[in-house]
């Protein structure tokens, strides 16, 4: 059902690229494993304690890093995002801003703690790899009523050059308790788009890119979000960065004062 309807969510492709038509936002270079500049630092080996102890009611769940940090391409120099309304993400309230958190990383418990404190349900896109390594935490997310989505297994650029079998494998091994999918890096092409939507997924892009992976400090992240937010905006953040943790309360206070969250 709704094949054509699903295809329309193409419009929701991220604006993190240069033009609305360039769904292949990042094609320049293959993802360097963990070495490109501006990446999330590989999660520090933090054996048996929850990260940072930033939250009083921090869960006792240990967050396990996955092998390679999930690189963000340097290709897309996020334009001033539009903050426009984005469909395809299953935003339960189109008049509100939807926060989304991708990949996996040590900031996850602190982020959840903040969301809980404000009673906010966000959409989380852990990779299948990370979700598999952090099952207790993911179970806690579900129990908490957080929304999840499929972000592939190991976060490749989902381009047709990967081959149909590998594209399907990435989707099938992704964490997918819902039918919402987000392309890693926002990178897709006609073939991969058709494949994923043909598997029944709606595509969730974003319209506010915090560029947290680039090293933006919390104040910059907060400014990006609050200056662009409007009803239906979808904010892209990640689970790796303390800067997002630091920025979140101020962002939420701001949006809440404007009835946007
Ligand atoms: Zn990602």
Domain positions in the chain are 26-35+70-257
Q: Which residue has the tokens 């193409």?
A: 10
| Cα-to-centroid distance, 184 and ligand 1 (Å) | 4
Q: Is 151 a known active-site residue?
A: no
154 Cβ contact list (under 8 Å, min separation 6) = 127, 128, 129, 170
Q: Is 238 a known active-site residue?
A: yes
Per-residue pLDDT of the chain (261 residues; tens, 9 = 90+): 333 333 333 333 333 333 333 344 433 333 333 333 333 333 333 333 434 444 445 446 777 766 444 545 433 333 446 899 999 999 999 999 999 999 999 999 999 999 999 999 999 999 999 999 999 999 999 999 999 999 999 999 999 999 999 999 999 999 988 899 999 999 999 999 999 999 999 999 999 999 999 999 999 999 999 999 999 999 999 999 999 999 999 999 999 999 999
CATH number of 26-35+70-257: 3.20.20.370
What residues flank ion ligand 1 with Cβ within 5 A? 102-103, 184
Tokens of 16: 């993190």
pTM greater than the 0.85 cutoff? no
CA dist., res. 139 & res. 162, Å (int) = 31
Q: Among 212, 238, 244, 246, which one carries the catalytic annotation?
A: 238
CA dist., res. 34 & res. 36, Å (int) = 6
Nearest to 127 by CA among 82, 183, 89, 80: 183
């Amino acid at each position: 059902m709704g094949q054509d309807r699903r295809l329309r969510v193409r419009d929701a492709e991220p604006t993190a690229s240069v033009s609305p038509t360039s769904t292949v936002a990042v094609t320049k270079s293959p993802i360097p494993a963990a070495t490109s500049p501006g990446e999330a630092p590989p999660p520090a080996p933090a054996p048996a304690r929850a990260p940072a102890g930033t939250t009083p009611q921090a869960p006792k769940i240990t967050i396990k890093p996955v092998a390679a940090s999930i690189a963000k391409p340097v290709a897309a120099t996020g334009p001033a995002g539009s903050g426009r309304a984005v469909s395809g993400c299953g935003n339960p309230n189109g008049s509100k801003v939807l926060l989304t958190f991708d990949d996996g990383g040590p900031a996850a418990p602190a982020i959840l703690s903040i969301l809980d404190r404000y009673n906010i349900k966000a959409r989380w896109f852990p990779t299948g790899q990370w979700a598999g390594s952090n099952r207790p935490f993911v179970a806690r997310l579900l129990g908490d009523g957080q929304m999840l989505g499929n972000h592939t297994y190991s976060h490749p650029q989902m381009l047709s050059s990967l081959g149909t079998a590998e594209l399907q494998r990435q989707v099938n091994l992704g964490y997918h308790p819902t039918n919402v999918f987000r392309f890693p890096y926002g990178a897709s092409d006609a073939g991969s788009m058709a494949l994923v939507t043909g598997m029944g997924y709606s595509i969730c892009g974003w319209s506010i890119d915090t560029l947290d992976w680039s090293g933006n400090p919390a104040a910059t992240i907060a400014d990006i979000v609050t200056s662009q937010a409007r009803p239906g905006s979808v904010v892209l953040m990640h689970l790796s960065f303390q800067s997002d943790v630091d920025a979140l309360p101020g962002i939420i206070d701001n949006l809440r004062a404007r009835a946007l969250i």
